Amino acid sequence: MENKNISVVLPGSKSISNRLLLIKEIAHLNFKIENLSDSDDTSVLQESLLSLQKGNTTIDIGMAGTCMRFLCAYLSTLAGKEFILTGNERMKKRPIKDLVDGLNSMGADISYLEEEGFPPIKITGKKFEVNELSMNSTTSSQFVSAILLIAPGFSNGLKLTLEGETVSKSYILLTLELMKKLGINYKWNGNQIQVMPGLYNFTDSSFYNESDWSGAGYFYSAIALNKKTVVLSGLLNSSIQPDSIVANIYAKLGVKTEFLDKQIKLTGGKKIENKFSYNFINCPDLAQTVAVTCLALGIDADLSGLQTLKIKETNRIEALKIELEKLGANVIAGHDFLKMKAPKEINLTASVTINTYNDHRMAMSFAPLLLIGNNITIENKDVVSKSFPEFWNQFNKLLM
């Protein structure tokens, strides 16, 4: 009997949504964003911008990391106004020093209210006069993106020099390409990015925001395990999202991708690799998903380029090691890598609870294991709302 295609509705890209929302605010544009992300992070940014429009000066972004970085840069340009930007306890442990140092060196006035180098912060808006900056780019690409998004408003634009091994370069390129679609020119040569001065401009009434490739990854993982056929909505072959590389990655793990009109069709087949190696420096959000897939398929994995995972919602390298070992893997983890010796078969005779550490990607990455065993429980399942509120409703279609 031929498998019936399962249709899965993905959320809009969170990365694109949040960048577009900030650009709209900076430039006072009023186009509609089609397929806007319904994630907690995007909702928090929308609420924060609305709160600012109402004159509020203290903004609590909870655990929304993108909001902390993007608002830090934007608020620093609002000359003559003072703001306090804070978050939850985990956010107060996520470093922001490289971004603050960069902004302050250009004339911003940002100070720490508690621990040096971490939120909460006090921001006094200034008019920036400096148009050259060298900044550390080894911690988070969002620090770079935050500054790039405000750079067109500088009288002479910005010459930005990236110092050190730049992480998640593809997300910086995502930012620049979005800026280009909205009227801003740039050049990127080697470790120097030049953003030309200008006004954001978009004359269409709406901007189509494609669906989230990071969210697609969990269904790639599921298809690698259960060999069904799934159609995922809203994805483009010409995507500017870094995580669209997931199609190439999972081709090595037996999943075929067929591009259709604003959707893709995934078909499971035979795994190709007995050992999987990959550098995730440009797509770190896929690492957890791939690690769990390899575990379930009995494939040894050598994952590198993971340094940014330590400062996410949790230390994802450490969390992955703990949870993979519960299922029989032998894991060695370091500053920027994880090496896993997979068991020949996962022993699911005893009940196993997967802890999520209040991290949406831990919950969704381990979800495909529910397809191969009834003795797995994922705690705090609702944490997925941070990026994919409808995840379980969509994932449960695979269990039917």
CA atoms within 13 A on the CB side of 171: 28
The pair phi, psi for residue 387, each rounded to 5°, is: -130, -20
The catalytic residue among 285, 300, 336, 382 is 285
Q: Are 107 and 60 in contact (CB under 8 A)?
A: no
Dihedral sign (CA 333, 337, 341, 343): positive
What secondary structure does DSSP assign to 53-94, as a single string?
HTT--EEE-TT-HHHHHHHHHHHTTSTT-EEEEE--TTGGGS
Among residues 280, 317, 386, which one has the least CA distance to residue 45?
Answer: 386
Taking alpha carbons only, the member of 336, 290, 297, 270 closest to residue 138 is 336
Distance from C-alpha of 339 to C-alpha of 302, rounded to nearest angstrom: 5
Residue with tokens 């009227």, as numbered in its chain: 183
Residue 382 among the catalytic residues? no
Q: How far is CA 15 from the centre of its chain?
A: 6
Active-site annotation, residues? 285
